[in-house]
Amino acid sequence: DDKRLVKSEKAEDIEEKYIVDGQERFVHTVKTPVIDAQDKVIGILGIFWDITERKKAEEEKTTLKAQLHHAQKMEAIGTLAGGIAHDFNNILAAIIGYADLALEDAREGTVARSNLEQVLIAGSRAKELVRQILTFSRKTGQEQKPMEIAPIVKEALKMLRSSIPTTIEIRQNIQADSSVIMANPTEIHQILVNLCTNAAHAMGENGGLLEVSLTDVVIEPAIVTDFGALQEGSYLKLSVKDTGCGMDGEVMGRIFEPFFTTKTVEKGTGM
């Protein structure tokens, strides 16, 4: 570097990363050749600044910005979806109501009757979808209380065992000392069932291994992750791991978007 500088006879302004004692440090360097009266380079003058703190702060700012952007997007989707769902609910009530009335008049065994029954089946599916959308958009969150998570995990896995293919082995790895957390049991149950169902879909009929673990984690110092800030303290980590097809970068980037799905309209709602 210095040889090149001597040759070029120009000042250099660079940022470099070094590993010092196993830690990343960013250094801003300005180097300039020193020239004597005969225009001969007789040395190099360099100034270094440790800009690690500034770099870290910049990184944190970028993460926080991304989080804010994400939160605003979620809020906008929520408001929009909530508004549509509300109107749609009223229209749906009319569709279901009139189909019900018509069904009373339709004679047993007629085509009209079975057609109306299909209308009602589709109607109730739509109702369920609207309910899910409204739950998301209201986002009031269920009440949180101290609860034992381990029994919920066990119970959910027991239920899942009967609903996912036997070619998939379910391994349960509960290592936490105490499993009391602040949460809502119904929500935890729902989250776990959804994650495990995704995992089962990713593995398909060929099967594989589904591993659910509950472990103690200590966060220290506080950190900012892609999904929010975590204060320092003791946490429980619930993780779901599968040996399925995995996700590419694009899917991974959108995984926390509500209603995002790679499945067909009939199959997935992406919640």
Ligand X SMILES: Nc1ncnc2c1ncn2[C@@H]1O[C@H](COP(=O)(O)OP(=O)(O)OP(=O)(O)O)[C@@H](O)[C@H]1O
- What does the binding site for ligand X look like in residue numbers (CB under 6 A)? 194, 198-199, 202, 242, 244-247, 251, 255, 260-263, 268-271
Under rule CB under 5 A, residue 269 binds Mg ion: no
Sequence-distant (6+) residues with CB within 8 A of 136 are: 78, 81, 258, 271
Question: If binding is defined by CB under 5 A, does position 132 make contact with Mg ion?
Answer: no
User: What is the smallest separation between the CB atom of 201 and ligand X, expressed in angstroms?
Assistant: 6
Of residues 197-226, which lie at the interface with Mg ion (CB under 5 A)? Answer: 198
State how far the Cα of 96 lies from the Cα of 91, in Å rounded to an integer: 9
Question: Token digits for 206?
Answer: 């060929």
Minimum CB separation of residue 132 from Mg ion in Å reads 12
Buried/exposed 162-198: b ≥16 CB within 10 Å, e otherwise: eebeeebebeeeeebeebebebeeeebbeebeebbeb
- Least distance from ligand X to the Cβ atom of residue 251, Å: 5
Residue of 76, 190, 89 lying closest to 131 (CA atoms):
89
Cβ atoms within 10 Å of 160's Cβ, excluding its own: 19
Phi, psi at residue 169, to the nearest 5°? -85, 135
Question: Residue 271 binds what, of Mg ion, ligand X, none (CB under 5 to 8 Å, by partner type)?
Answer: ligand X
246 binds, among ligand X, Mg ion, none (CB under 5 to 8 A by kind): ligand X
CB of 122 to Mg ion, least distance (A): 21
The closest residue (CB) to ligand X is 268
Cβ 15 vs Cβ 33: under 8 Å: no
* Interacting partner of 251 out of ligand X, Mg ion, none (Cβ under 5 to 8 A depending on kind): ligand X
Rank residues 152 and 199 by Cβ distance to ligand X and give the closer one: 199
Of residues 18 and 259, the one with the C-beta less far from ligand X = 259
Token duo for residue 203: 């593995």
CB 258, min distance to Mg ion, A = 12
Q: Which is nearer to ligand X, 145 or 161 (CB)?
A: 161
CA distances from 57 to 19, 60, 90, 219 (A): 18, 5, 50, 19
Residues that bind Mg ion (CB under 5 A): 198
